[in-house]
Amino acid sequence: MKTKKGEIRVHRGKLDELTLTTSRLKKVEERLFLMTLKRCSLTVLTMSFKSVET
């Protein structure tokens, strides 16, 4: 029984690590998404301004 408990503990630790890494990745993805959105909006704005100028 001791070995099984130890295995469960290790498994839980690994799961916690996985959840932490996934949450971190999600945060990074959100940041990248926001960055790309800002860039896209900026490019669209510049394009619209250029079209208005001409």
* pLDDT tens-digit readout, 5-47: 767 677 788 888 888 889 999 999 999 999 999 998 999 888 8
pLDDT at 1 over 60: no
Q: Could you give the C-alpha distances from 32 to 26, 29, 52, in angstroms and in order?
A: 10, 5, 30
pTM to 2 decimals? Answer: 0.52
pLDDT of residue 18: 86
Give the start-to-end residue ranges of the domains of the chain: 1-54
